[in-house]
Amino acid sequence: MTRTVFVNGEFLPEHEAKISIFDRAFLMADGVYEVTSVLGGKLIDFEGHATRLQRSLNELDMRSPVSTEELLEIHRELVERNEIEEGLVYLQITRGAPDDRDFVFPDPDTTPPTIVLFTQNKPGLANSPAAQKGIRVISIEDQRWGRRDIKTVQLLYPSMGKMMAKKAGADDAWLVEDGFVTEGTSNNAYFIKGNKIVTRGLSNDILHGITRAAVLRFAKEAQMEVEERNFTIEEAQGADEAFITSASTFVMPVVEIDGVALAGGTPGPRALRLREIYLEESRKAAI
């Protein structure tokens, strides 16, 4: 089946979709994005993603070409047209395509923003085999720009980080700045010691994860203690368990950090329980 995508107000077959070579995302990485998971044909945490999208746009002084209500309808239409039961909806908004390349922002009254959405079909997303065996991470220096709280399309270094991990025989990387873990390449990072979850606090240094917020809320409801603070790789290596969260991995156990195994190298019970709770509650609230 040919995939249907959405480009600037039109639903199109993917092979007919075109963007100008002068688009600011292509030339300047001047754009923001969101990824929303789909389970059972419904959207997970859509409201949170829409709210964060608007925050990212505001921080970059960028206009949205659609309202939140219109955005929801576009998501639903793409899910239906592409028959997505389990998968992802990718959304990107850029500052648009002016007549030529220039460092100065184009006039928004004459250069409308670009909006693109497409789906990714991911059967078995909720029952990922990786969650049953856990993932291994390495640590690398965090060399990204300072505004990681804005979900921009500047993803070169995170991509390089994933390739560093792959080259080292691992699954992903945790980024370290001034001796402390910031986050994963495309996820938030945590460890568990006893009944306490430790994760870095919100700031410009990390992405304000939508899945992160939900998981921490569910953890507190399950009578787990949550401590938001800086932590080191060595501290995480001495933990009982570790995990990451993101819209596409939900709660993913980490079983090895820089060659040091946690929980005997198998996913810990608390991380697995948090994944179970998150999926259960998210399915209930999906729209």
Q: Please identify every residue annotated as catalytic.
A: 151
Beta pairing, strands 225-228 & 196-199: parallel
Beta pairing, strands 135-141 & 250-257: parallel
Reported as half-sphere exposure (CB side, CA atoms, 13 A), residue 119 has a value of 30
Structure tokens at 273: 């329980």
d(CA 265, CA 260): 9
Q: Is the dihedral of CA 286, 154, 112, 13 positive or negative?
A: negative
Number of neighbours of residue 68 by Cβ within 10 angstroms:
14
Which amino acid makes up residue 8? N
d(CA 190, CA 195): 13
In 3-state terms, the chain is what percent helix, strand and coil (to 5)? Answer: 30, 30, 40
Q: Looking at the DSSP assignment, which residues form a beta bridge with residue 82? A: none
